[in-house]
Amino acid sequence: MSQFLKSLLVASLITFAASAQSAELKVGYVQVDKILQDAPQTAESGKKLEKEFSPRSQELERMAKQIKDIETVLDKEGLTLSESERRSKERDAQNIKIEFQRKQRELREDINLRKNEELGSLQDRINKAVQSVSEAEGYDLVVYSGVAYASKKIDITDKVLKLLGKK
């Protein structure tokens, strides 16, 4: 659904809800991008992932050095090595490169999977924080960023960030 249609739908819902109720509708909005950027859980998650995948990254660095060392030996001593020794070292380097690429691809996939898991967990926490702030302050409707216009006085982003900072 296009951004315009989403905004139109929200405006229609607000208008309908306001006319359907005699009480005034209290509306707020949240900047999810800002929350994802500034929430303390985001930094914690990054550190956790770095720690989790650091050993595998170091192994890849070791393998890259091993490949470079073999290639250096081939460059320096390639002419003095026998044909069979040279082929053996070239084969070793090629096998390590293939293994390196496989492990690198697996690491990238695993990191992406874990990032998505962490993001999902953080989004759940954000949704709960938005709900808590909304209920505590009596909001009838809270929309996420992506609206055509929202006044700063209905922006509850900082309140949600404050609540997330306490957890």
Separation of alpha carbons 73 and 77, rounded Å: 6
Q: Positive or negative, the Cα torsion across 47, 53, 57, 62?
A: positive
Q: How many domains does the chain have?
A: 1
Q: Show the domain range for 155.
A: 3-166
Residue pLDDT tens, the chain, 167 long? 556 556 555 556 566 555 555 568 899 999 999 999 999 999 999 999 999 999 999 999 999 999 999 899 888 887 888 888 888 888 999 999 999 999 999 999 999 999 999 999 999 999 999 999 999 999 999 998 778 787 888 888 889 999 888 76
Q: Note the pTM of the prediction, 2 decimals.
A: 0.69
Check which CATH number belongs to the domain holding 151 and give it: 3.30.910.20
